[in-house]
Each structure stands twice: as C-alpha cells, then as structure tokens.
C-alpha cells in the first residue's frame, strides 16, 4: 500500500458535527482534506463551525492567525450535495465515512466509493456501534475497510478506537493506529464486537441509572449528584444522556442489545423509549430528563449520603463488571480498556484500576448481593472477576 504522509489527501464523507471535526483534525495535522455531504447547505455549516473553532484557538493563543488560515485553506469544502457522483474523492488516499448511523446507507456509500478510489486507498468508517464486517461485506475490496471511531468533539477528545475485522488486511490496523497517533490522538485497538470498547463498557452508566430511577430509589438530579460528587464523574448519567441526545443514546443501546443477541445486561429502558417517542431528546429539543426551556426550573437533588452511596456503588459495580467482561472476551487489553474509558469519555479512573483500589472481593460482593436480590442475569458477576478474586490477583497484573 502507498505510504500515508502529510501529502496524502484525506476524504471525509459527512459534514455534520463529527465529520467536520474529523476534517479539522486531519487538516490541523497538515493534510489536504476533501469534505462533502449529501445534505444541501451542510458543508457551508461545517465551514462556519470549523472557522469558529480555529478562531477560538487564535483568541486563546493556541495557534496563530496564519496557522488558522492555512488550516482552513487545506480543506476543500464541496458545496454540491453528494449523489451517485463521488469523483471529488478520487484523489484521496484515506476516506473516513461519518454519515448517519444506518447500515444500509453506509453499505451503499462504500460501494459507491469503490468505483472512484484507487485500489490501495484506505476506507474507514466512524460508526460507533455497527459491525465493521457488515459494512466491509458490501464491498468488492473489503480488505481495505476498517473502523476508525472518533469521539465528539473530535478536535478535543483524544481517543480513537481502531477496529479491524476478520477479513481485513492485517497490516491495516497498525497503519491506521500510526495515522491516529500522528494526528495527536490516543488510539486503542478494539475487536469488531457491538459497541467496541467505550459504547459497550459505558452502557451501565446509563442503563443502571435508569433502572434506579424506574425503581424510585432516587430521582434524576439525585443520581447525577451522586455520580459527580461521590464518584468524581464530570457529568451525571441523565445530564450526559440529555447532552448526547436521548435519541442517539437509545439507538446505541438498542444496537448493542440486539448485537449481543438480547443480552439482558444491555436491555434498553422503557423510560428512555418514551422520551424518544415524545421527541424529548434533551438539550437539542429543549426537554429531556431535564427541562431546558427558558424560565424552566428543575428539581434540586436530595443530597442524602446513604442514598447517594447506594446509587454510586451500584452503578460503579456494573461498570467494573462490564469492563471485566470486555477483558474476558478480549475486546481489548485491560490497559486499553482503562485507557479508552479515561480518554474517550473522561471517566475519573480506569474501571479495572478502580476495582483494584476498592478490592475485587468488595466489588464481587456488591454484584452477588444484587444478583441474589433480583435473580436476574443482568447482575451476574463476570467470570474474570470471580477468577481474579479466587486467585488473589488484581486486574492489569
């Protein structure tokens, strides 16, 4: 394959928040970039978004005005909406897809891209939860397809999940890993399983919080308070779901649930489903778990330490258990799982290292009590956690 350096043209398909962010990252690393979108006017919005971002960098002294002008000058903003003609990407050595999270749409796009790209061009998908194999399988040259999952906002968040698939070129993952590193990112290698690392391991942060809400253990403000004040998380689960968008969060949960053949640990919440059906997506619609409309007043948390500790320990136990199970199933190395959760979603500590600090027997006890109380597989402890407790070893050893 042709070496990838600063002269390599990077194509980004999709000019939404994620696509424009990836384009900015590639241009900041010195690459010429081609950015286009199927929606009329989307690329103009992307130009405005990137311009505002680099202007803030100039104002804060992170780059000079000349650097900002050069960065913008390296991006070709294609204003004509994409159709069947993708000729603008013919010169690209790497193309990163960042369109709607829909398998059929991605498969169609990848087939169209193949007709214009050179034989050794790399084609990456920024999917957050869809199977890389299912996307690659639609291609005539599937071996050059790989997952390259950035986190939003891409210019700020350091993590990139590099996701090879069974039929991919074995040299491709190391090359994409090097690209991400050269772009100033923190890459980790993940296997092609639903949700990869972060969107799999993070499911209990939302799912168990929703379960606690539905049971009436605490309301949303109190659960958010517990996870921030007692756990050190930057945002509580309900604040974060409203920020991400309940439509997006619910769709990812469903995708992971279905992808794991309806594994009960990932079962979606009826509460969240009803919010999505009502159009209460969170900040972007003005209503979610909280009311963001002008003049709205939201309830204050009930800062009861005993309730807060119950909430925190229950959610944390489920997160640690999920991280342990991801390590057991070799989704990624234990070190990369911890790295992904701290660098991808800003967790205060790596979950496996956190378990070591707490004591694995203590975490196992939390889970065993939950499973005994509810009798559900949802709370079954990971075999790896049991094994570590039995053998007297910690994670990351």
C-alpha dist (Å) from residue 377 to 3, 31, 59, 203: 48, 49, 53, 15
187 in Cβ contact with 177 (< 8 Å): yes
Q: Is 161 a catalytic residue?
A: yes
What is the C-alpha radius of gyration for the chain, rounded to an integer number of angstroms?
22
Choice among 126, 129, 131, 199 that is catalytic: 199
C-alpha to C-alpha distance for 278 and 283, rounded to whole angstroms = 14
C-alpha to C-alpha distance for 395 and 105, rounded to whole angstroms = 40
22 in Cβ contact with 150 (< 8 Å): yes
C-alpha to C-alpha distance for 298 and 333, rounded to whole angstroms = 41
What residues contact residue 270 under an 8 Å CB cut-off, 6+ apart?
214
Choice among 20, 31, 114, 128 that is catalytic: 128
Strand partners, 163: 147
What residues contact residue 27 under an 8 Å CB cut-off, 6+ apart?
33, 71, 72, 74, 75
Q: Is 199 a catalytic residue?
A: yes
C-alpha to C-alpha distance for 389 and 113, rounded to whole angstroms = 50
110 in Cβ contact with 138 (< 8 Å): yes
Strand partners, 34: 11, 76
Q: Is 134 a catalytic residue?
A: no
Q: Is 208 a catalytic residue?
A: no
Choice among 161, 239, 313, 322 that is catalytic: 161
Please write down the HEC assignment for all residues of 176-221. Answer: HHHHHHHCCCEEEECCCCCCCCHHHHCHHHHHHHHHHHHHCCCCHH
Task: Identify which of 201, 172, 166 has the alpha carbon closest to the alpha carbon of residue 187.
Answer: 172
Greatest extent of the chain over all pairs of C-alpha atoms, in Å: 63
C-alpha to C-alpha distance for 247 and 141, rounded to whole angstroms = 33
50 in Cβ contact with 41 (< 8 Å): no
Choice among 149, 246, 255, 269 that is catalytic: 149
Residues carrying an active site annotation: 128, 149, 161, 199
């Amino acid at each position: 394959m042709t070496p990838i350096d600063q002269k390599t043209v990077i194509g980004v398909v999709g000019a939404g928040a994620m696509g424009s962010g990836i384009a900015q990252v590639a241009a900041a690393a010195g690459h010429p970039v081609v950015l286009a979108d199927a929606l009329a006017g989307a690329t103009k919005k992307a130009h405005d978004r990137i311009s505002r971002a680099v202007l803030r960098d100039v104002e804060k002294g992170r780059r000079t005005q000349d650097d900002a002008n050069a960065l913008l000058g390296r991006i070709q903003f294609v204003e004509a909406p994409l159709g069947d003609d993708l000729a603008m990407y013919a010169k690209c050595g790497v193309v990163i897809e960042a369109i709607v999270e829909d398998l059929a749409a991605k498969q169609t796009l990848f087939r169209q891209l193949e007709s214009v790209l050179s034989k050794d061009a790399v084609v990456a998908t920024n999917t957050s939860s869809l199977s890389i194999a299912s996307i690659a399988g639609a291609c005539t040259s599937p071996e050059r397809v790989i997952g390259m999952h950035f986190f939003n906002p891409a210019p700020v968040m350091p993590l990139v999940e590099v996701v090879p698939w069974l039929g991919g070129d074995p040299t491709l993952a190391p090359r994409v890993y090097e690209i991400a590193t050269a772009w100033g990112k923190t890459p980790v290698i993940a296997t092609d399983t639903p949700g990869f690392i972060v969107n799999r391991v993070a499911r209990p942060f939302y799912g168990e919080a929703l379960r606690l809400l539905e049971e009436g253990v605490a309301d949303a403000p109190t659960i958010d308070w517990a996870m921030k004040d007692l756990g050190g998380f930057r945002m509580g689960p309900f604040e974060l779901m409203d920020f991400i968008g309940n439509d997006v969060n619910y769709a990812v949960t469903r995708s992971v649930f279905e992808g794991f053949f309806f594994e009960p640990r990932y079962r979606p919440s009826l509460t969240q489903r009803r919010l999505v059906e009502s159009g209460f997506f969170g900040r972007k619609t003005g209503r979610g778990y909280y009311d963001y409309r002008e003049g709205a007043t939201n309830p204050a948390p009930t800062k009861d330490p005993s309730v807060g500790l119950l909430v925190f320990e229950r959610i944390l136990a489920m997160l640690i258990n999920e991280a342990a199970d991801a390590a057991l199933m070799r989704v990624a190395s234990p070190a990369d799982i911890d790295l992904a959760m701290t660098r991808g979603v800003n967790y205060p500590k790596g979950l496996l290292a956190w378990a070591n600090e707490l004591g694995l027997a203590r975490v196992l006890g939390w889970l065993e009590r939950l499973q005994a109380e509810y009798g559900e597989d949802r709370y079954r402890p990971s075999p790896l956690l049991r094994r570590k407790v039995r053998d007297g070893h910690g994670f990351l050893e």
